[in-house]
Amino acid sequence: MIVIPAIDLHEGSVVRLKKGVFKDVTYYSKNPAEVARSFADAGAKRIHVVDLDGSLKGTGVNTDAIESICNATGLPVELGGGIRSMSDAQRIFDLGVAFVILGTMVVKDRDCAKEIIRAFPGRVAIGIDALKGRVAVHGWKEVTDTTAVMLAKEYEEVSPAFVVYTDIDRDGMLTGVNIGETRALAEQVNIPVVASGGVSSIDDLAALLEIPKLLGAITGKAVYEGKIDLKQAIARIES
């Protein structure tokens, strides 16, 4: 399992939200590239980036910031937010991003999502964000009747690179990860899983390490708030 530090972008700045609510935004840096370099210096092997504005508007917004992150370190960057078409995916790849993460369209336009996954083998992941077990879309504004496991199983046939599973109730809250739901997804679906939401300590990462087949764990606010020393976490979890 790898530890994946996160950069959430809002109007070009590095921020964190609580449960995806923009009124609860905390600003950490106006220099995303500098943040990315600090992650590389700590030993990160990959960086997770979310275009928060893109998630709401349905199109890429923070392109300059995204490109600067990609150019800053040479590390693989995975990005979600605002990708709704084949051309969107290609545009993001052209910025230097290694993996795109499809979110809303995984539910709303499944045929197109599967077409994009097939078109870029091994480079397209799916993001599944769940609120009380149900998948949420459109920047978490709309909750569906579909469960995370149900949705992921539907995509096994097209072999996405991985699935990022986020527990919305825990995202940005430093309340600990949802081990049970994450384990259930990893055990029931034949797609590598990356856990996200609620990581508050190295102990949370160590607990996730016990889940078989878990590809990685994303941590954001805990790093920014000094709850996790990224270098120490990587040394302990990835050794």
The residues assigned a catalytic role are 8, 129
Dihedral in degrees, nearest 10, Cα atoms 219, 123, 187, 130: 60
- Tokens representing 40? 């590389």
CB atoms within 10 A of CB 156: 12
CB atoms within 10 A of CB 190: 10
- For 169, which DSSP code? G
Dihedral in degrees, nearest 10, Cα atoms 134, 124, 86, 40: 110
CB atoms within 10 A of CB 207: 18
